[in-house]
Amino acid sequence: MPFQGSGDVAPAVPANVYVSTFVDRLLGVDDSTYEFTAVVWFYLSWIDPRVKGQLADNAAKLTAANGNSTCALPCQSNQKAIAGGCCDGVWMPYIAFSNLKWLPQDRVVRYGFGANPDSNAVFQWRSVHATYYTPMDLRAFPFDRQQLLIQMEVPQARSGWSGGLVNLIPSTTGNKMFTAKTRGDDVSGWGVVDVRLQPFEYPLCAATMAGVLGPSAAGDPAPVMPEYMWESQQARREPQQCAAAAVAAVELA
């Protein structure tokens, strides 16, 4: 996954993470397999008063005269931990891309992390070359207009290094970043005309109730849909009592 997360404790509960998304280049749209490939620039920002001190401590260890410290997580994709910073121990959110199909093995990896010197604001960005599967509506073919989905999800009740609760908050979007836009379409017959971010919040058990076709087997030691939940009207009325997840979706038209 592009955003694997790091660190053990989030800076706040919940941690408000602002999301910006720029479609740098649409590389392909396949209406026979309902998938598309694109290079998308994701930018995350949040508040963490600990980061500047953590980066300074890491720099001091790496530059100590008689030290033998190494950096496991450089802050920049150029892997230069002294010039670009070492992010060992810094909290970053885990974000799953729910409809990601695959990441090309020979893709160019670009990412960065930084801290604002005048505030407690921090940011993380990553350029992601990936293929996604998405619903399509071909009823107006060949004059169709498609909304292509990238779904970002953060489980709200995770344990371990991903920290506690995380809120994904839409910030801004764009239809270009690093790649120059010349005359013509990005892909034959297709072009990006709009990019939107929209938050979705739903309880995890409510999603299961909406799609499940029956209760789990009586002997299932860890059932997805226990018999009592399947039969209980209370579970249907009060799904917020279950573990929750937050989903952000990016729509490309």
Exposed, middle or buried, 218 (CB in 10 Å: 0-12/13-18/19+)?
A: exposed
- Which residues lie below 8 Å from residue 242, measured CB to CB, with a gap of 6+? 203, 204, 205, 206, 235
pLDDT on residue 13: 78
pLDDT on residue 203: 54
pTM above 0.85, yes or no: no
Written as one letter, the residue type at 89 is: G
Q: Is pLDDT of 237 > 70?
A: no
> In Å, how far from its chain's centre is CA 178?
20
Condensed to tens digits (0 to 9), the pLDDT of residues 25-76 reads: 888 888 888 899 999 999 999 999 999 999 999 999 999 877 788 999 999 9
Find out whether 200 and 248 touch, Cβ atoms under 8 Å.
yes
pLDDT on residue 174: 87
Cα dist from 60 to 86, 88, 112, whole Å: 10, 13, 20
Written as one letter, the residue type at 136 is: M
pLDDT on residue 250: 43
Cα dist from 221 to 66, 178, 206, 216, 226, whole Å: 54, 50, 21, 10, 10
Condensed to tens digits (0 to 9), the pLDDT of residues 138-182 reads: 665 655 677 888 888 876 544 334 445 788 888 998 887 777 776
Written as one letter, the residue type at 190 is: W
